[in-house]
Amino acid sequence: MTRLALSRRRFLTGATLASAGTLSGCFDPLGNRDSSVRGVLETANSLTYRVQRMLLGSDDLAREYSESEIRQPQRPNGSTDPRDGDYRQMAGENFASYRLKIGGLVDAPLEVSLDELRAMPARTQITRHDCVEGWSCIAKWTGVPLAGLIDQVRPKTSARFVVFECFDTMENGFTGPIKYYESIDLHDARHPQTILAYGLNGAPLPVSNGAPLRVRVERQLGYKMAKYIRSLTLTDDLAAYGDGNGGYWEDRGYEWFAGI
């Protein structure tokens, strides 16, 4: 799909929602509209975000499924075998040297190993993964609720987003190599189904699905669910990352808030 087609879709979405009424004044989770966030969210995208926030409710859960509804393996998509040297070395040692780094606008930055993460209270959920390309998979994910980790690092009041920086490099002919990255707001980061997953269908998360750690953001599309997570950074400004749209695919025209 071309950039033009995506932009047009985004425009149409915004236009449709705008015609549903004067929604913009009712609910504004972005708070101060004069902040740097403005540069990140285009009008239609921001409207979509705010309307979806309103329709979703704050803590509604994504549907969870039963074991018998898992009919196929989670289909690996996007990067499935990162070639990056630092990643390969770590993977060769079964991720023993891996440390998840959490920093940015926090009072207590943290570094944790995979063993330490596995020792924390875990959550397991069977959910459906929807890729923007049009396929879905139901799978069982096990990991650490992100909310607990966020509490642990004690965010400063100015923090609004969590940025996920990944190990894998995307080969992109147009802009050159670039690391995959993603971001969500603190609201989604604290949602009870948002987990940093290290397990898939009862086994350790395979490399093809994002080992050692990938995020599940169950009320949004697949591209939000960063695999191969290197670090989490709390920030008030997405403009500092990539081209400033909040994620690798967002920089290529997809919406930042990808509600299902």
Ligand X SMILES: Nc1nc2c(c(=O)[nH]1)N[C@H]1C(S)=C(S)[C@@H](COP(=O)(O)O)O[C@H]1N2
Tell me the C-alpha distance between 51 and 75, whole Å: 31
Residue nearest to ligand X (CB): 78
Q: How far is CA 119 from CA 45, 110, 114, 116, 157, in A?
A: 39, 16, 9, 5, 29
Nearer to ligand X, 78 or 104 (CB): 78
The reply on whether position 260 binds Mo ion by CB under 5 A is: no
Tell me the C-alpha distance between 41 and 31, whole Å: 13
User: C-beta of 41: minimal distance to Mo ion in Å?
Assistant: 21
Query: What are the beta bridge partners of residue 104?
Result: 234
Nearest CA among 125, 117, 126, 181 for reference residue 148? 117
Site for ligand X in 206-245 (CB under 6 A): 209-210, 222-223, 225-228
Please tell me whether the peptide bond between 145 and the residue prior to it is cis, using omega within 30 degrees of 0: no
The reply on whether position 74 binds ligand X by CB under 6 A is: yes
Please identify which residue in 126, 131, 239, 260 interacts with Mo ion, judged by CB under 5 A: 131
Stretch that binds ligand X, among 72-80, 98-106, 107-115, 251-259 (CB under 6 A): 72-80
The reply on whether position 194 binds ligand X by CB under 6 A is: no
Torsion on CA atoms 141, 142, 146, 151, rounded to nearest 10 = 160
Site for ligand X in 123-142 (CB under 6 A): 129, 131
Residues that bind ligand X in the complex, under the rule CB under 6 A: 74-79, 129, 131, 166, 168, 180, 209-210, 222-223, 225-228
